[in-house]
Amino acid sequence: MPNIAATSPVPLTLDAVEALFNLPFSDLLFQAQQVHRRHFTANQIQISTLLNIKSGGCAENCGYCSQSAHYDTPLVRQGLLAVEEVVNAAKAAQAGGATRFCMGAAWRQPTANDMAVVVAMIKGVKALGMESCVTLGRLDAAQVSDLKAAGLDYYNHNIDTSRDYYDKVVTTRHFDERLATIALIQEAGIHVCSGGILGMGESRRDRAAMLLELATLDPQPQSVPINLLVKVPGTPLANAPDLDIFEFIRTIAVGIILPRSYVRLSAGRESLHDEAQALAFLAGANSIFYGDKLLTTANASSDHDRALFRRLDLQIEG
Ligand code: SAM
Ligand code: DTB
Ligand code: SF4
């Protein structure tokens, strides 16, 4: 067992993590806020802005995704954007207060030509003085070393759900392949951003197992995005039953088994009431995607977010 277990408030076993989940709601939130304050400055929020640099036509069959070529979704496909367009979008995000710019591409794995363009995009974002993040699908060791040389700060690669539930959601790739890419990123010294999606029909034990899997990575991911499923018409999960919002908040709170990781309230925030977002922050979420669009779906508007930060006395980090 890696020594990171010492910093978790509970032993890193599935039963112990599930027991944390099962605490009375207020006890869990109280504990989560206490642990959070031991490791982070209270009332601070990190904001990242997202841009989809290549949309749709993806070879994978992720059952939640608007960009999979396997499903007939409302998405319009779009090839890889030009470097200048991406750097201009990063400048606009920076002017709006974002400190990190995240670029996503609907690829199973980038080609050599794709990589050359993405490397130029990363360098352009870094030249602005922003942190850079990309999510490009699976990578080999040479690609990881190109990203490191370009100055990449974060790579987003989600495990998405538990090992047991994974093949209910996607069959064109496997859980261990996700872990293999994450291991390459860690070995290169690039920060890992890895989390998952809630509300895909998984059980509480699956949610516990997903967080446990992340918590037993060594080192733990620096950033953990928690997405609430956005139900995209045409995908197999278009009619998934709604997840109880308090279960969503509990999952964020159990994120304290990764006490030093930023927990990012990610997809699905547009559908959350302000009260639910306030509870998520109380449970320890301290990062969001900021900007009117995620990759292909709507995000909470920036104006609304700024007003919410004021009402909740949240300060933007950096
Ligand atoms: N293609 C790359 C990959 O899958 O790793 C990067 C882009 S992919 C769209 C990034 C992440 O977005 C997924 O891992 C998933 O967690 C999240 N995501 C995609 N569609 C979503 C949806 N409909 N609702 C919630 N999260 C979603
Ligand atoms: C992550 O975990 N969430 C972001 C980011 N990583 C790339 C993506 C959310 C996508 C939501 C669905 C969409 O807009 O297509
Ligand atoms: Fe492709 Fe990523 Fe969407 Fe899966 S989640 S279909 S890999 S873009």
pLDDT score at 98: 87
Per annotation, catalytic residue among 173, 207, 250, 264: 264
CA distances from 198 to 31, 101, 243, 260 (A): 22, 24, 8, 21
Contacts of 280 by beta carbon, 8 Å cutoff, 6+ apart: 248, 249, 252, 265, 272
178 is catalytic: no
Residue 131's domain comprises 45-316
**Which residue ranges in the chain fall short of pLDDT 70?**
1-6
DSSP class per residue in 39-100: HS-TTEEEEEEEEEEEBS-BSS--TT-TTBTTS--SPPPB-PPPHHHHHHHHHHHHHTT-SE
Q: How many separate domains does the chain show?
A: 1
Per annotation, catalytic residue among 100, 133, 250, 269: 133
Token duo for residue 173: 């790739």
Q: Which residue has the tokens 């953990």?
A: 224
Does residue 3 form part of some domain?
A: no
Distance of alpha carbon 134 from alpha carbon 255, whole angstroms = 23
Per annotation, catalytic residue among 37, 38, 58, 269: 58
Count helices and strands (H / E) in the chain.
11, 10
Does residue 7 form part of some domain?
A: no
Helix (H, G, I), strand (E, B), or coil: what is residue 252? helix
- Going from the Cα of 226 to the center of ligand 2, the distance in angstroms, rounded, reads 10
Which atom number of ligand 1 is nearest to the Cα of residue 156? 5
138 is catalytic: no
Does residue 27 form part of some domain?
A: no
pLDDT score at 36: 96
Q: Report which protein residue has its CA nearest ligand 3's atom 2.
A: 106
Of the bound ligands, which one is closest to the alpha carbon of residue 210? 1
Do the strands 287-289 and 262-265 form a parallel or antiparallel pair, or are they unpaired? parallel
Does residue 86 form part of some domain?
A: yes
Q: Write the pLDDT tens digit of every residue in 125-161.
A: 999 999 999 999 999 999 999 999 999 999 999 999 9
Per annotation, catalytic residue among 100, 102, 173, 178: 102
CA distances from 205 to 14, 57, 163, 223 (A): 8, 33, 11, 22
Apex CA 208: angle with CA 176 and CA 8, to 5°?
A: 95
Which atom number of ligand 3 is nearest to the Cα of residue 106? 8
Which CATH number characterizes residue 263's domain? Answer: 3.20.20.70
Burial class (CB in 10 A: 0-12, 13-18, 19+), 260: middle
- Going from the Cα of 65 to the center of ligand 1, the distance in angstroms, rounded, reads 6
Does residue 255 form part of some domain?
A: yes
Does residue 134 form part of some domain?
A: yes
- Going from the Cα of 315 to the center of ligand 1, the distance in angstroms, rounded, reads 28
- Going from the Cα of 18 to the center of ligand 3, the distance in angstroms, rounded, reads 29
- Sign for the CA dihedral angle at 216, 231, 168, 179 comes to negative
Distance of alpha carbon 54 from alpha carbon 77, whole angstroms = 8
pTM: 0.96
204 is catalytic: no
Does residue 2 form part of some domain?
A: no
CA distances from 232 to 72, 185, 289 (A): 10, 30, 19
- Going from the Cα of 6 to the center of ligand 1, the distance in angstroms, rounded, reads 31
Does residue 223 form part of some domain?
A: yes
133 is catalytic: yes
Quick one: how far is CA 294 from the chain centroid?
11
Instruction: Check residue 257 and report its DSSP letter.
Output: G
pLDDT score at 2: 42
Q: Report which protein residue has its CA nearest ligand 3's atom 6.
A: 68
Do the strands 287-289 and 223-228 form a parallel or antiparallel pair, or are they unpaired? unpaired
